[in-house]
Structure 1
Amino acid sequence: MKFYQKHFFLFLSCVVLFGTCAGAQSLGLLKYKGGGDWYANPTALPNLVQFCNAAIGTQLEANAQTVELGRDELFQYPFLHMTGHGNVLFSPEEAEALRLYLLAGGFLHIDDNYGMAPYLLKELPKIFPDKELEEIGSDHPIFTEPYRFAEGLPKIHEHDGKRPRALGYFHEGRLVLLFTLETDLGDGWEDPEVHNDPEAVRRKALQMGANIIHYAFKN
């Protein structure tokens, strides 16, 4: 391994101990290259954190921290969120960093805000050239704890009218990367006036987000 290897044991300590390292109780928002709007849905993560702290007893800091690939602080965050509408580009070094991060115990949730998927599907094999994206069934714990989603990923926004999909990479039986598309969970996490979603729809989005957080921090 290259530059990132020296951070391996520091990162493992942060992931295992949760909260004993600076920033370990914060969510990370991944800033990526390529021109896509990584900063989309600015109220989404703060609202998700507020919901999780109140509903499932997490103790997350109110504001997510922007995290760039290639920076040391990547290894301080057990959970990264990534979103946007447009292009995504990972350099070989950035793909290596994400691979090490995920293999060491980190978790990445990518939520297609509509239009991101075609670009992302070309870049993900750079992270795991030896793995295939797998469809995640409704019996997976991410859909059963603490909230039950009997049909799997909920549909929050219609867009193309296609069914919502949850794809992922697994390492030693653990889901390490979750890619949600045709659902737009992040839009459902935003302030009510942003998209004017019905409260029931927003609640489904927040509950699904809570399940993702719960899984990432417990597994």
Structure 2
Amino acid sequence: MMNRRKLISWLVVTLGVVFATAAMAQRRWYRNDDISVDRRGVPTWEVDPRFKHDLFTFARVRYDSYGGRGRGGGGWRTDYPDSDLNFSLRLHQLTSLKVNPNPIILDLTDEKLFDYPFLYMIEPGALYFSEPEVEALRQYCLRGGFLMVDDFWGDAQYENLAEQLKRVFPDREPFEVPLEHEIFHCVYDMKEKPQVPAINSAFRTADGQVGTWENAWDGSDTRTPHYRAITDDEDRIMVFICHNTDLGDGWEREGEQKWYFDEFSVKRAYPMGINIVTYAMTH
């Protein structure tokens, strides 16, 4: 297990060498979300054909939202594809996991759902599950799957997510995960629960203080990050809820601003993300 100083030094050296290249690749006047055509400057890597079905694949959940945006847009595709591609690359570089260079988008009702032990869901503040999705997610989690929920701010957005998860698990309640839990220490030793703001919300004052939060539209206090969980009967985390933080922006924006990269990608977003995936894949 790395201490915080060694972690920062290791990540700065490993990730810093590609910072300039990533910055040039990601600052474009157009955006193509088809990663088979445009990987946004993120390199691919060879996969051993003997183990092509034994890879970790970053699977993003597509869902419907209130307000009519639906599956063609809306919160589910926030930060895509940059965060998914960058995070997959860093898992490949910084861990011993065998990682698929091609992340996917997945519906909860897809027949291949159970092929993917880790799911990522983003911006659930306007999320709405259909009844088939409720049943599919319940069975997925109870049969060993893991869902990470990320990037939403304030009380109103959390209440919407909690309402939808209550439909999935009517007999289980989310609880605040203490910092002592192994998910904060299983690879990188987190000294605090990390809070990552969107790149346009992060700031640093003249005296060196760092602003780590985003304002919520409902005016609620967002200065405290919350990491909540729903567990199974064996106390295994099935759903890990990252509230009042945006780890995905730390992955997506790593190549756009060096200060943001050093402060949020290196120190918070990648270490926490790697810890979460490691926990999910070993429990």
The interval holding the TM-score normalised by the smaller chain is 0.7 to 0.9
Aligned to 1:12: none
**1:150: Cα distance to partner?**
2.3
- Paired with 1:155 and 1:66, the residues of 2 have a C-alpha distance of 26
Aligned to 1:200: 263
SS at match of 1:119: helix
Aligned to 2:226: 165
- Paired with 1:21 and 1:50, the residues of 2 have a C-alpha distance of 16
After superposition, residues 1-219 of structure 1 pair within 5 angstroms as 22=53, 25-34=56-65, 35=69, 36-42=74-80, 43-84=82-123, 86-114=125-153, 116-151=157-192, 153-157=193-197, 158-160=213-215, 161-171=222-232, 172-193=234-255, 197-203=260-266, 204-219=268-283
- Out of 84-93 and 51-60, give the one that drifted further: 84-93
C-alpha distance 195-109 of structure 1, shift in aligned 2 (>3 A): farther
- Paired with 1:39 and 1:104, the residues of 2 have a C-alpha distance of 26
SS at match of 1:61: coil
Contact 2:55 2:100 (8 Å CA) reproduced: no
Q: Deviations over 1:40-76 (max 9, x none)?
A: 1111121111111111211111121110021101111
Q: Percent identity?
A: 31
Q: Deviations over 1:163-204 (max 9, x none)?
A: 110011000110010010111111111133557624131112
Contact 1:187 1:195 (8 Å CA) reproduced: no
| Length, aligned pairs only | 200
C-alpha distance 86-136 of structure 1, shift in aligned 2 (>3 A): closer
C-alpha distance 195-72 of structure 1, shift in aligned 2 (>3 A): farther
**1:215: Cα distance to partner?**
0.3
Contact 2:124 2:149 (8 Å CA) reproduced: no
Contact 1:84 1:112 (8 Å CA) reproduced: yes
Measured on the aligned residues, the alpha-carbon RMSD in Å equals 2.1
Contact 1:135 1:167 (8 Å CA) reproduced: yes
Contact 2:55 2:98 (8 Å CA) reproduced: no
- Paired with 1:178 and 1:206, the residues of 2 have a C-alpha distance of 16
- Paired with 1:100 and 1:50, the residues of 2 have a C-alpha distance of 30
Contact 1:47 1:191 (8 Å CA) reproduced: no
**1:214: Cα distance to partner?**
0.4
**1:22: Cα distance to partner?**
4.1
